Structure 1
Amino acid sequence: MAEKGCIKCGSKDAGKKEVAMTGTGLSKIFDVQHNTFIVVYCKNCGYSEFYNKQSSTASNILDLFFG
């Protein structure tokens, strides 16, 4: 079985960060950032995927990124 890497460039060098974003309506007006995501990105080409932090039950989100 071949090892998988970034779907864009094949690199296996990835990082992850947690980000928060505003929604729509009142949360946008008052800058309430209740939408939190984990961003997994390729350190080689910059390709990124967002994962909803609240609904993600994966033990290792990097495994999802690499397929």
Structure 2
Amino acid sequence: MSNYKCPKCGNISYETDTVAMTGGGLSKIFDVQNKKFTTVTCTKCKYTEFFKAETSMLENIFDFFTD
């Protein structure tokens, strides 16, 4: 993302991270983190954008047994 420019303040410096969240239904009941997102955060104003990432069935099963 060398062309990144914050849509709020125009800053060109950013940080990335990954976040996992539960969905609805049974995944919420069993606290299975089956939704994964990559985040891009402006280092100046902290505006954050989320981009959906793929999760594998193996990651979901591992998450279920480690909670």
Q: Number of residues paired by the alignment?
A: 52
CA distance in 2, matches of 1:4, 1:36: 22
Q: 2:25 maps to which residue?
A: 25
Structure 1 runs of 4+ with >6 Å offset: none
Give secondary structure in 1 for the equivalent of 2:39: strand
Structure number, greater radius of gyration: 2
Tell me the residue number matched to 2:44.
44
RMSD of equivalent CA atoms? 1.4
Report the alpha carbon displacement of residue 4 of structure 1 after superposing the two structures with TM.
6.0
| Distance in 1, Cα, partners of 2:8 & 2:48 | 10
Report sequence identity in percent. 48
- In structure 2, stretches of 5+ residues that fail to align are 55-67
| Runs of at least 5 residues in structure 1 that lack an aligned partner in the other structure | 55-67
- Taking structure 1 as the reference length, the TM-score comes to 0.71
User: What secondary structure does 1:23 align onto?
Assistant: coil
SS in 1 for 2:27: helix
Question: Equivalent residue of 2:23, what SS?
Answer: coil
CA distance in 2, matches of 1:14, 1:41: 5
Relative to structure 1, the CA distance from residue 10 to residue 34 in structure 2 (aligned partners, 3 Å threshold; closer, same or farther) is same
